[in-house]
């Protein structure tokens, strides 16, 4: 499959007045590049995915009370629901902790298994974590979750490098504990701008 390529956003990085501006512009360019990559390479694959993340078989969905209440159509109070969970009578896929709810082992109620899509796509109720998955900007770098089969790491590195333009290089590093989580760090090339390159 031919991969679309991003238009360079380097022009936006050329005129920062302070280091803070540089970081802000870089983060903005990375967030856009990540969103563009998702739109071009990930989302079109979702309906044919063999391991949909929304089935929550390997991923855990983290939610606050409001989306839990709405998605599971809970009518009782939070206190009553928490008590039900604590006594093992709540939805077995939901665990409570740290003021949040963790869902695992059963498909998200917003997942349309027939269509292979999210019923609340583009709506405010859709959790930010879902929109971020599997590629998002984080503290001036890019986080990529390789549990998504649509992510091609080399293609993603090339995509980000192209989006930033010459003057930057991308460095890959996998999380030691969770090697499917890969950070793409951005390094400024000192001196005369050179062709952007990717390193393991």
Q: Which is nearer to ligand SF4, 12 or 104 (CB)?
A: 104
How far apart are alpha carbons 188 and 166 in whole angstroms? 9
Q: Should residue 106 be labelled a site residue for ligand SF4 when binding is judged by CB under 6 A?
A: no
How far apart are alpha carbons 63 and 12 in whole angstroms? 35
| Shortest Å, Cβ 166 to ligand SF4 | 31
| Strand spans (E) along 82-149 | 94-97, 100-103, 111-112, 117-118, 135-138, 141-145
Burial group, residue 45, by CB count within 10 angstroms (0-12, 13-18, 19+): middle
Q: Should residue 170 be labelled a site residue for ligand SF4 when binding is judged by CB under 6 A?
A: no
Are the C-beta atoms of 148 and 133 separated by less than 8 Å?
yes
Q: Which is nearer to ligand SF4, 13 or 68 (CB)?
A: 68
Please report, as residue ranges, which positions from 112 to 141 form the binding site for ligand SF4 (by CB under 6 A): 118, 120, 126-127, 130, 133-134
| Shortest Å, Cβ 15 to ligand SF4 | 35
| Shortest Å, Cβ 122 to ligand SF4 | 10
Are the C-beta atoms of 172 and 143 separated by less than 8 Å?
no
Residue 188 token pair: 């400024």
Q: Should residue 40 be labelled a site residue for ligand SF4 when binding is judged by CB under 6 A?
A: no
Count residues near ligand SF4 (CB under 6 A). Answer: 21
Residue 84 token pair: 């039900």
Please report, as residue ranges, which positions from 46 to 105 form the binding site for ligand SF4 (by CB under 6 A): 46, 49, 52-54, 61
| Shortest Å, Cβ 6 to ligand SF4 | 19
| Residue among 123, 155, 134, 122 nearest 54 (CA) | 134
| Residue among 52, 50, 51, 55 nearest 105 (CA) | 55
Q: Residue 112 — φ and ψ, nearest 5°?
A: -95, 100
| Shortest Å, Cβ 177 to ligand SF4 | 21
Q: Which is nearer to ligand SF4, 81 or 111 (CB)?
A: 111
Q: Should residue 42 be labelled a site residue for ligand SF4 when binding is judged by CB under 6 A?
A: yes
Write out the residues near ligand SF4 by the rule CB under 6 A: 42, 45-46, 49, 52-54, 61, 108, 110-111, 118, 120, 126-127, 130, 133-134, 148-150
């Amino acid at each position: 499959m031919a991969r679309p390529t991003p238009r360079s956003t380097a022009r936006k990085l050329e005129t920062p007045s302070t280091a803070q501006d540089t970081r802000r512009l870089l983060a903005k360019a990375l967030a856009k590049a990540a969103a563009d990559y998702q739109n071009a390479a990930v989302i079109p694959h979702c309906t044919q995915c063999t391991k949909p993340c929304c089935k929550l078989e390997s991923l855990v969905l983290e939610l606050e009370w409001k989306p839990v209440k709405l998605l599971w159509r809970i009518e009782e109070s939070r206190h009553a629901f928490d008590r039900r969970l604590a006594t093992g009578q709540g939805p077995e896929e939901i665990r409570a902790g740290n003021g949040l709810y963790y869902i695992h082992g059963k498909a998200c109620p917003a997942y349309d298994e027939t269509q292979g899509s999210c019923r609340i796509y583009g709506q405010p109720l859709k959790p930010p974590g879902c929109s971020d998955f599997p590629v998002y900007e984080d503290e001036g770098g890019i986080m990529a979750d390789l549990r998504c089969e649509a992510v091609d790491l080399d293609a993603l590195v090339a995509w980000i490098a192209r989006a930033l333009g010459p003057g930057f290089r991308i460095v890959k590093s996998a999380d030691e504990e969770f090697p499917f989580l890969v950070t793409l760090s951005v390094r400024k090339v000192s001196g005369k701008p050179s062709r952007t390159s990717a390193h393991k």
